[in-house]
Structure 1
Amino acid sequence: MGTTQLESVPEPKYWHLKTVISEALDSEFQVGEILPNERELAARFGVARATLRQALEQLELEGRLQRRRGVGTTVAPPRVGVDVSTAQQRWPGAGDASWQPLDCATAPPPAAVLRLLEADTGPGADAVGSVFAVRRLRATNGQAVAAEQLYVPAASVPGLVPADFPAGPALARAVLHALERLPLEGQDRAVELGSARADDARELDRLPGSPVLVVTTRYLSGGRTAAVSVATYRADTCRLTFGDVGDLGIAS
Structure 2
Amino acid sequence: MNDSSLSPLSSIPLHAQLRDLLRSRILDGEYAPNTQMPSESELGARFKVSRITVRQALGDLQKEGLIYKIHGKGTFVSKPKAYQNVSTLQGLAESMTERGYEVINRLRSFRFVPADKQVAERLGVEEGTVVAQIKRVRLINREPVSLEITYLPQPLGERLEKADLVTRDIFLILENDCGLQLGHADVAIDAVLADSDLTQALNVEPGSPIMHIERLTHTADGQPVDFEHLYYRGD
TM-score w.r.t. length of structure 1: 0.49
Tell me how far 1:34 sits from its aligned partner. Answer: 1.0
Q: Among 39, 42, 45, which residue is 1:43 paired with? A: 45
- Given residue 150 of structure 2, which amino acid in structure 1 is its aligned partner? E
Tell me the equivalent position of 1:82. Answer: 92
Tell me, in whole angstroms, the C-alpha distance in 1 between the residues paired with 2:188 and 2:39: 24
Deviation at 1:35, TM superposition (A): 0.9
Partner of 2:135: 137
String of CA shifts for 1:146-167, please: whole Å, max 9, x gaps.
Answer: 33112215xx9xxxxxxxxxxx
Is residue 150 of structure 1 aligned with residue 132 of structure 2? no
Structure 1 residue 190, shift from structure 2 partner: 1.2
- Structure 2 Cα separation of the partners of residues 99 and 70 of structure 1: 34
Task: Tell me the percent identity.
Answer: 21
Aligned position for 2:34 = 32
How far residue 66 of structure 1 moved from its aligned partner, in angstroms, is: 2.0
| Residue-pair matches, total | 170
Structure 1 contact 66–236 (Cα < 8 Å) conserved: no
One-letter amino acid of the structure 2 residue matched with residue 230 of structure 1: D
State whether residues 63 and 235 of structure 1, in contact with CA within 8 Å, keep that contact through their aligned partners in structure 2.
Answer: no
Per-residue CA deviation, residues 86-118 of structure 1 (Å, 9 max, x unaligned), is: xxxxxxxxxx75343387433498488569xxx
What's 2:7 paired with? none
Amino acid at match of 1:83: A
Which amino acid is the alignment partner of residue 136 of structure 2?
Answer: R
8 A Cα contact 1:214 1:233, kept in partner = no
Scaled by the length of structure 2, what TM-score is found?
0.52
Q: CA deviation at 1:14?
A: 0.5
AA matched with 1:134: A
2:206 is matched with which residue? none
Query: 1:55, 1:235 → 2: CA distance?
Result: 23
Supply the distance in 2 between the matched residues of 1:178 and 1:233 (Cα, whole angstroms).
18
Distance 2:58 2:189 in 1: 20
Amino acid at match of 1:48: S
Match for residue 106 of structure 2?
98
* 1:230 equivalenced with 2:192 (yes/no): no
Does 2:188 align with 1:196? Answer: yes
Equivalent position to 2:57, from 55, 58, 61 = 55
Tell me if the contact between 2:148 and 2:231 (Cα under 8 Å) persists in the aligned partners: no
Q: 1:73 to 1:179 in 2, by over 3 A?
A: same
Unpaired stretches in structure 1, ≥5 consecutive residues: 1-8, 86-95, 116-129, 157-174, 218-227, 238-252
Q: Which position in structure 1 is the counterpart of 2:15?
A: 14
**Is this contact kept in 1: 2:137–2:147, CA < 8 A?**
yes
Residue number in structure 1 paired with 2:207: none
**DSSP-derived class of the 1:140 partner:** strand
Greater RCO between the two (CA within 8 Å, min separation 6)? 1
What do you get for the CA RMSD once the two structures are aligned?
Answer: 4.7
Deviation for aligned residue 1:83: 3.0
| Runs of 4+ more than 6 Å apart | 175-178, 200-204
Alignment partner of 1:180 out of 162, 173, 180: 162
